[in-house]
Amino acid sequence: MSVDIQLAPVIHFEPGAQSFKPSRGGNLAASALRAGSLLAFVAILFVFSLTAPYFLSVGNIGNVLGQSAISGILAIGLTVVLIAGGSNVVTGGIDLSLAANMGLSAAVYATTVQLGYGDAAAVAAALVTGFLIGVVNAAAVVGAGIVPLLATLAVMNIVAGLELVLTQNTVIPASTPLLTALSSSGPLGIPALAYVLLVFTLIAAAIVQYTPAGLRLYAVGEFPDAARAAGLPVRRLVASAFIASGLCGGFAGVLSVSNLSGSTTGSGEMLLPVVVTALLGSVFSRRLVPTVIGTLLSTLFVGFLVNGFQLLNISSVLVSGVQGLLILLVVSATTLLRRQEA
Amino acid sequence: MTLQTSATAPSIPRAVIGVIVNNALVLALITVFAIFSLASPTFLTIANLQSILVNNFTLLAIVAIAMTFAVSVGGIDLSVGTAVDFASFAFVSLVLAGQPVAVAALAGLGAGAAVGAFNAVLISGIGISPFLATLGTLFIGRSIQQLLTNGGNPVYLPPSGIPEAFRFLGRGAIAGIPVPLILAAITILGATVILTRARFGRVALAIGIQTSVVRYSGIAARAHVAVAFILAGLIAAVAGLILSATVTVYIPSSGSAFLLNAIGATFIGTTLSRLGRPNIPGTVLGVLLLGIVANGLLLTGLNFYWQQVGTGLLIFAVLALSFITRRKASA
């Protein structure tokens, strides 16, 4: 019960107000870290904007948002699984099939378009693909009781194989009115994908952070025994988290087709960056738990870093290294602060 | 639902279920083996069985054993591929620079152990969770490799400049047995002894089951975790040496290809074992299962892309069946 009470007043966009009023000693470290990571975010933006004047222009920010849309939506899908599955990555919530899911959904979308169907049918086909992958994951984890890491690993192999079967490892071009609209610019000259990401995040955050079902996901993930004792439908909630994640994969698949004007191979490369983004996201939350807005912030953090590097002509070779260092820095800070707190 | 079935089920099937659960992995292997023997006439030939061991088993077995050490202390090592790559890079570059093969090989092992030591500092020193620490190592390692190779160019050994010892390591044979296979066998034996006979192994497994108990018994749990991760890096480095000696080239980040299969084999071996603990025989059987499935599907003449689907489906089926029977047995 206390779980819900603690979780209810999660307010995301008032870092200052939060960090100056630590209600308990334990919250101090968390607030410091959260304020620290937001500060680091702002500092990086500041440094880049000084060195690359174009960096903080509306156009560039829009570009970063647009380029982050696909990974952001995948990371939000993974966040839902992390919330419902708990923090232990090996035995708890993880969905390794997300990137492959995006690849297959994109291939299904492009193939449906090639077969002469319209946008509505193609989008539906892609979403159904993602949904079905989510259902298989849910059945494997909740029904058969397979550890999520193993279950989604096997599903990832199946899905990646199906994508190869469908595409014969080639690019399937597609151009439809929807794809044209998605790859065009919206108001303020900002890419349409940027708006898609923002709207998607708001809807997902509203569902996960502010509905009873969303709050129950946290209860199930953090205290499964307590949740079960309180009469929550634990199995159904975990299953729905995997299905939601599958749907995110399907949706990201459609967007990826618009981004590359066709389905392309190599979606598996997205997997680890998405895992990193989703895990980093918890640093941007008040209680250091995965949240949808936190994941959006961490997606943008990584997006701005990559973009700033490009503007400064720093070799793209360093991007993955900096991402790695970032994880280690953030996580060491978290661990050390937690230790002080204890 | 499960309660009802177990209450009404007669006692004999229950015993049968118990046997199945306790030997799930061996039974799965026998089944898959029998299916492919029937499906393809060439499967059950000496040449093919040898090909399974050389092509589908050796390298993955060594990397999966490295993974098993990390899993035995309750962790996971996502950077086993990085250790493979660093060892391979050091080995090939030094041989290319004209150093003796033995020196280059030692440097390669050292490079792999260094990756493990970096993980050990992060995990035991700072206290980062193994998943995140080794994920960070994986990303940093990728950048370092690209920096070292001008953005990811392979390092080739010219065909004329390959020392005999280098070639022997990758393609040689002693009494008709390929050297890589012998090295894999030594690794398997050594790892089994360390994990089951040595004090270190018992402590490591105890840490994996209940860290706090180990700590309260006055044992330096952190030091044992650190050693397990350094061993993981060192063992993965052996695979790196064999890999580069076989293909006589170092390709940046090629070791990451082993990662997911190594995780799969290790956790199949862990979850399908009687006690549900990480163990070397289980890991080895897991690697064999993956290898036999890959080889068998190849022989069936199935389209290459369908083979991947088939592999995934078979592994999925094995996992699902064993987890369901296990649940039935414990209900």
Q: How many residues are listed for chain B in this entry?
A: 331
Substitution target in A94, A157, A270 with the highest count of B β-carbons within 10 Å is A157
* Complex ipTM tops 0.85: no
Whether B122 and A323 lie within 8 Å, measured CB to CB: no
- Nearest Cα of chain A lies from the Cα of B53 at a distance, in angstroms, of 22
Region B95-112 average pLDDT: 93
Q: pLDDT-derived band of residue B240, with 50, 70 and 90 as boundaries?
A: very high
Radius of gyration in angstroms for the set of CA atoms belonging to chain A, rounded to a whole number = 20
Q: pLDDT-derived band of residue A29, with 50, 70 and 90 as boundaries?
A: low
Question: Which chain B residue has the Cα nearest residue A152?
Answer: B316
Q: What is the pLDDT of residue A312?
A: 74
Q: What is the pLDDT of residue B201?
A: 86
Decide: residue B136, CB within 10 A, 0-12 exposed, 13-18 middle, 19+ buried.
buried
CA distance A259 to A69: 10
Q: How many domains does chain B have?
A: 1
Q: How many domains does chain A have?
A: 1
Residue B9 has pLDDT above 70, yes or no: no
**Per-residue model confidence as pLDDT tens digits over B44-100:** 888 888 888 888 899 999 999 999 999 999 888 999 999 999 999 999 999 999 899
CA angle at residue B275 from B206 to B295, to 5 degrees?
A: 110
Query: What's the mean pLDDT when you consider all of chain A?
Result: 79
Is position A43 within any domain?
A: no
Q: Residue B185's domain is classified under what CATH number?
A: 1.10.3470
Whether B319 and A144 lie within 8 Å, measured CB to CB: yes
Q: pLDDT-derived band of residue B304, with 50, 70 and 90 as boundaries?
A: confident
> Do B62 and B189 contact (CB within 8 A), yes or no?
no
Top-ranked range on mean pLDDT: pick from A8-12, B56-60, B303-307: B56-60
CA distance A20 to A53: 33
**Domain coverage including residue B37:** 2-330
Q: What is the pLDDT of residue B257?
A: 84
Whether A318 and B143 lie within 8 Å, measured CB to CB: yes
Query: What's the mean pLDDT when you consider all of chain B?
Result: 86
Is position A19 within any domain?
A: no
Q: What is the pLDDT of residue B6?
A: 44
Region B92-118 average pLDDT: 94
Would the CA dihedral through B258, B259, B260, B261 be positive or negative? positive
Lookup result for tokens 């250790």: B83
Q: What is the pLDDT of residue B296?
A: 87
> Do B228 and B204 contact (CB within 8 A), yes or no?
yes
**Domain coverage including residue A146:** 2-8+60-266
Would the CA dihedral through B118, B120, B126, B128 be positive or negative? positive
Q: pLDDT-derived band of residue A233, with 50, 70 and 90 as boundaries?
A: confident
CA distance B230 to B129: 16
- Nearest Cα of chain A lies from the Cα of B83 at a distance, in angstroms, of 16
The backbone torsions φ and ψ at residue B173, rounded to the nearest 5 degrees and listed phi first, read -150, 145
Contacts of A146 in chain B (CB under 8 A): 319-320, 323
**Per-residue model confidence as pLDDT tens digits over B161-213:** 788 888 888 888 888 888 999 999 999 999 999 998 888 888 888 888 777 77
B174: helix, strand or coil: strand
Whether A321 and B143 lie within 8 Å, measured CB to CB: yes
Tell me, rounded to whole angstroms, the distance of Cα B229 from its chain centroid.
14
Would the CA dihedral through A24, A25, A28, A30 be positive or negative? negative
Is position A34 within any domain?
A: no
Q: What is the pLDDT of residue A27?
A: 58
> What are the residues whose beta carbons fall under 8 Å from the beta carbon of B95, sequence distance 6 or more?
B101, B104, B157, B162, B163, B166
Q: Please report the residues numbered 112 through 141 in chain A whose beta carbons come closer than 8 angstroms to any beta carbon of chain B.
A: 140
CA distance B288 to B258: 14
Tell me, rounded to whole angstroms, the distance of Cα A86 from its chain centroid.
16
> Do A288 and A197 contact (CB within 8 A), yes or no?
no
Region A59-82 average pLDDT: 89
* DSSP code for A142: I
Is position A291 within any domain?
A: no
Region A104-123 average pLDDT: 89
CA distance B29 to B24: 9
From B138, B117, B119, B116, select the one nearest B127 (Cα to Cα): B119
> Do A29 and A338 contact (CB within 8 A), yes or no?
yes
CA–CA distances in Å: residue B236 to residues A15, B63, B297: 44, 5, 27
Residue type, A248: C
How many A-B residue pairs are in contact by the CB < 8 A criterion? 141
Residue type, A265: T
Is position A325 within any domain?
A: no
The backbone torsions φ and ψ at residue A18, rounded to the nearest 5 degrees and listed phi first, read -65, -45
Would strands A262-263 and A172-173 be described as parallel, antiparallel, or unpaired? antiparallel
Q: pLDDT-derived band of residue B11, with 50, 70 and 90 as boundaries?
A: low
Contacts of A145 in chain B (CB under 8 A): 323-324, 326-327
> Do B151 and B259 contact (CB within 8 A), yes or no?
no
Q: Is B129 left (phi over 0), alpha (psi -120 to 50) or beta?
A: beta
* DSSP code for B9: S
- Which tokens is B283 given? 């890991």
The backbone torsions φ and ψ at residue A262, rounded to the nearest 5 degrees and listed phi first, read 160, 165
Q: Is A145 left (phi over 0), alpha (psi -120 to 50) or beta?
A: left
Is position A205 within any domain?
A: yes
- Does any CB of chain B come closer than 8 Å to the CB of residue A318? yes
> Do A200 and A189 contact (CB within 8 A), yes or no?
no
> Do B54 and B178 contact (CB within 8 A), yes or no?
yes
Residue B315 has pLDDT above 90, yes or no: no
CA distance A193 to A175: 16
Decide: residue A210, CB within 10 A, 0-12 exposed, 13-18 middle, 19+ buried.
exposed
Q: How far apart are the first and last CA of chain B?
A: 10
Q: What is the pLDDT of residue A136?
A: 94
- Nearest Cα of chain A lies from the Cα of B194 at a distance, in angstroms, of 24
Residue A151 has pLDDT above 70, yes or no: yes
Q: What is the pLDDT of residue A224?
A: 78
- Does any CB of chain B come closer than 8 Å to the CB of residue A38? no
Which of B131, B152, B313 is closest, CB to CB, to A158?
A: B313
Q: What is the pLDDT of residue B206?
A: 84
Residue A189 has pLDDT above 80, yes or no: no
CA distance A104 to A98: 10
